[in-house]
Amino acid sequence: MSPTLHTETLGQGLDLFLVHGWALHGGIWDRLVPDLARDWRVTRVDLPGHGLSRAVPMPATLPALANLVVHAAPQIAVWLGWSLGGLVVLQAALDFPQRVRALILTNSTPRFMTAPDWGCAMAPERLAEFSSELARDHHGTVQRFLALQVQGSEHARVSLRQLSASLSACAEPDAQSLATGLEILRSGDLRAAVSRLARPTLVMTGAHDRLVPPAAGAWLANAIPDARLFGFPKAAHAPFLSHPEEFIVAVRDFLKPLHDTAVPASAHGASRHG
């Protein structure tokens, strides 16, 4: 039996499933959930080693991580993933297409590391620095990573306070799971596979993103057959924190046709699991 990841659900109607990024937890979506739950049944998950799933070890590979997350997801849902969560969403949609109604990829990329044929990414040396620093100074490394996420944003200080507050709302992530997550970011590469995706997709980027360059999002939107691109000209890596109203409008505009044509889920209300 697969270990159980912590989830929280609010609202009723069609299912929307939220997957956070490295070092955070499902609380990062606090600003969005009440608004989205007016029309959708919103479930957020804590990834293994993070938040209230801290006791669940992070799987060693991206496919194994996606498989674990699928077991925590609604039977069929729109999946919204941010950063590492976006990579998980892509893998889940490729491996379990029947479980994914549509994709929303926020500051996401099919490959985090640069390669000879892939320049819109983080240099391997930069991630190696994070890995070595993590072993020496767990707390400090996570804090520096949070600061990097908001650099260049129009509301950098406010966003950093929100990220730090979200992180401190739960116990810090498990150090080994963080290290494994970095290895997944280092080795994951879905560029050759994403053209097989056959679901409506919204790709969202921040013009000042220092972790996932907007060119990576533009590449994704071009490579996925039924994808559209939405850019935040004054945002960095976390536009849902720095520009929440614009973010919610963009998500609602994308979801509205799906909401109008799909059959609602029967479950409703609020619940916590895990």
Mean pLDDT in residue range 166-184: 90
Mean pLDDT in residue range 46-59: 97
pLDDT tens digits, one per residue of 92-140 = 999 999 999 999 999 999 999 999 999 999 999 988 888 888 888 877 8
Query: Bridge-partner residues for 202, per DSSP?
Result: 104, 228
Whole-model pTM above 0.85? yes
Per-residue pLDDT band for 274 (boundaries 50, 70, 90) equals low
pLDDT tens digits, one per residue of 144-159 = 888 888 888 888 888 8
Residue 23 has pLDDT above 80, yes or no: yes
Residues belonging to the active site: 83, 209, 237
pLDDT tens digits, one per residue of 176-190 = 999 999 999 999 999
Tell me what the pLDDT averaged over the chain comes to: 91
Of 78 and 272, the structure prediction assigns the larger pLDDT to 78
Per-residue pLDDT band for 141 (boundaries 50, 70, 90) equals confident
Per-residue pLDDT band for 270 (boundaries 50, 70, 90) equals low
Range of lowest pLDDT (35-44, 62-71, 141-150): 141-150
Architecture of domain 7-273: 3-Layer(aba) Sandwich (3.40)
Residue 48 has pLDDT above 50, yes or no: yes
Q: What does the pLDDT read at residue 69? A: 98
- Domain spans in the chain, listed from the N-terminal domain onward: 7-273
Give the distance from CA 181 to its chain's centroid. Answer: 13
| 206 CB-contact burial (10 Å; exposed 0-12 / middle 13-18 / buried 19+) | buried
Mean pLDDT in residue range 48-70: 97
Residue 200, token pair as written in the block: 């409506």
Q: What does the pLDDT read at residue 97? A: 97
Query: Bridge-partner residues for 113, per DSSP?
Result: 122
